[in-house]
């Protein structure tokens, strides 16, 4: 079923220069998504969508993902309150990655650790240093 | 060999709250990377690294990726001149995604189509609308 709700394009020029949304799902039926805060461009999180999550996201304007660990559809924020209102969705050149520009609801955060962003650590000399987000 | 150059952490608290860089590579030995322009936070591209690409990126301060289509290590910019100087690398909470904050060299772009960013199209009502990047 993966991707069956969306068209598929084999032609590279159409895929890259065309106006048809033809997201490429991987062999597990997933597409990687990068969510950033629309207003500030702060990187928030990486997650994955299957075709159903993508359809629901576009239909409802609220981000839905596929949890690879729980193997379940997941409307982000259902338990945390940190739903993500979709402001704009972009797709990359070869249509195998999505960028979600969102407005985080609830406390404005995205990370289950309680931080605003999942990217709160920098790699420094092989170790990790904490950063404010 | 995937990930063998880097430590592996099974403990969730250490993985999420610790100072040990223990990137989790997927079953293909890859980790997803999101590159943004360090100065402006403009989202540029999504690519993948294997352990060698990650090691080379950290050693040289220039982004190296693994091309899934060409199945080859790839120093971005070797042909285009669009090398990416690494300003800061971040890892997400469960250490299975990387954020590269880079300074694009050459013409300042990242996309092979000639645009600055790969995210030059927005999904609008099931079709794609072009955006300036």
- The pLDDT of residue A4 is 62
Q: What is the pLDDT of residue A2?
A: 45
Residue A49 has which token pair?
A: 């969508």
For residues B110-114, give the mean pLDDT. 94
The model's pTM = 0.95
Q: Which residues of B touch A119 (CB under 8 A)?
A: 90-92, 99
Q: Is the pLDDT of residue A50 over 70?
A: yes
The contacts of residue A64 (CB under 8 Å, 6+ apart) are A49, A52, A53, A54, A56, A57, A73, A74, A75, A76
Instruction: Say whether residue A68 is in contact with chain B using an 8 A CB cutoff.
Output: no
The whole-angstrom separation of Cα A127 and Cα A133 is 18
What average pLDDT score do residues B61-67 get?
98
Interface probe with B: pick from A82, A90, A133, most Cβ of B within 10 Å = A90
B89 CB near a chain A CB, below 8 Å? yes
Mean of per-residue pLDDT scores for chain B: 95
pLDDT at B4: 62
Q: From residue A70, how far is each of A63, A66, A67, B106 by CA, in Å?
A: 17, 8, 5, 43
- How many Cβ contacts (< 8 angstroms) between chains A and B? 109
Kindly list the structural domains of chain B, giving each domain's residue range(s) and its CATH number in brackets, ordered by start.
Answer: 21-106+113-130 (3.10.20.810)
Q: Give the DSSP letter string of A22-45.
A: -----TTS-EEEEEEETTT--EEE
Average pLDDT of the segment spanning A81-107? 97
**What is the ipTM score, two decimals?**
0.95
Residue in B23, B121, B127 to test binding to A, most A beta-carbons within 10 Å:
B121
Which of B32, B36, B40 is the closest to A32 by Cβ? B32
Half-sphere exposure of A18 (CA within 13 A, CB side): 17
């Amino acid at each position: 079923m993966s991707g069956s709700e969306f068209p598929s394009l084999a032609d590279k020029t159409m895929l890259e220069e065309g106006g048809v949304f033809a997201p490429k799902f991987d062999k597990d039926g997933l597409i990687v998504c990068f969510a950033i805060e629309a207003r500030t461009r702060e990187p928030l999180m990486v997650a994955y969508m299957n075709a159903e999550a993508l359809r629901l996201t576009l239909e409802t304007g609220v981000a839905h993902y596929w949890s690879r660990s729980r193997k379940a559809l997941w409307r982000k924020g259902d338990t945390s309150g940190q739903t993500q209102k979709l402001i704009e969705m972009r797709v990359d050149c070869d249509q195998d990655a999505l960028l979600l520009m969102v407005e985080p609801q609830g406390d404005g955060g995205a990370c289950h650790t309680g931080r605003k962003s999942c990217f709160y650590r920098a790699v420094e000399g092989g170790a990790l240093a904490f950063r404010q987000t």
